């Protein structure tokens, strides 16, 4: 694998890991969704193996991971939080709040585990 291709795979793998962590999913769960072994999935996150178009499509269809972000690191659209909250149901805002709390909790736990290493 060429150096530039490897570097590209590493960046994609890093973004894939970020998405997985943001979703609060384990490597094993994503591996199951992608129908690959846990070892193969670890190689995807580390950049030792590249994602196929088919796997990128599965990530989008099943987990709503944006291919543009995954491949380039660029957001395809900006979310206007104020507009969303003004136009959503109470259930939707509660779900968003719970999701944000879970996200922050996961981030704190990950930082604690890194500090303990």
Minimal CA–CA distance to 52: which of 64, 62, 40? Answer: 40
55-75 mean pLDDT: 93
Please, which residues have CB within 8 angstroms of residue 19's CB and are 6 or more apart in sequence? 59, 63, 65, 69, 70
Comparing 114 with 41, the larger pLDDT belongs to 41
80-101 mean pLDDT: 89
- Residue 3, Cβ neighbours under 10 Å: how many? 7
pLDDT by residue (tens digit) across 40-50?
999 999 999 99
How sure is the predictor about 52, in pLDDT bands with cuts at 50, 70 and 90? very high
Burial (0-12, 13-18, 19+ Cβ within 10 Å), 44: buried
- The answer to whether the beta carbons of residues 73 and 11 sit under 8 Å apart is yes
- The answer to whether the beta carbons of residues 21 and 28 sit under 8 Å apart is no
Task: Give residue for tokens 């099943």.
Answer: 62
64-88 mean pLDDT: 85
């Amino acid at each position: 694998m060429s150096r530039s291709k490897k570097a590209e795979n590493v960046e994609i793998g890093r973004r894939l890991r970020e998405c997985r962590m943001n979703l609060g999913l384990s490597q094993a769960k994503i591996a199951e969704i992608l129908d690959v072994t846990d070892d193969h999935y670890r190689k995807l996150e580390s950049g030792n193996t590249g994602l196929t178009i088919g796997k990128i499509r599965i990530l989008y269809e099943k987990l709503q991971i944006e291919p543009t972000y995954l491949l380039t690191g660029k957001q395809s659209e900006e979310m206007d939080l104020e507009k969303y909250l003004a136009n959503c149901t109470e259930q939707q805002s509660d779900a968003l709040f719970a999701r944000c709390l879970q996200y922050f909790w996961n981030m704190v736990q990950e930082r604690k585990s890194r500090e303990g290493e």
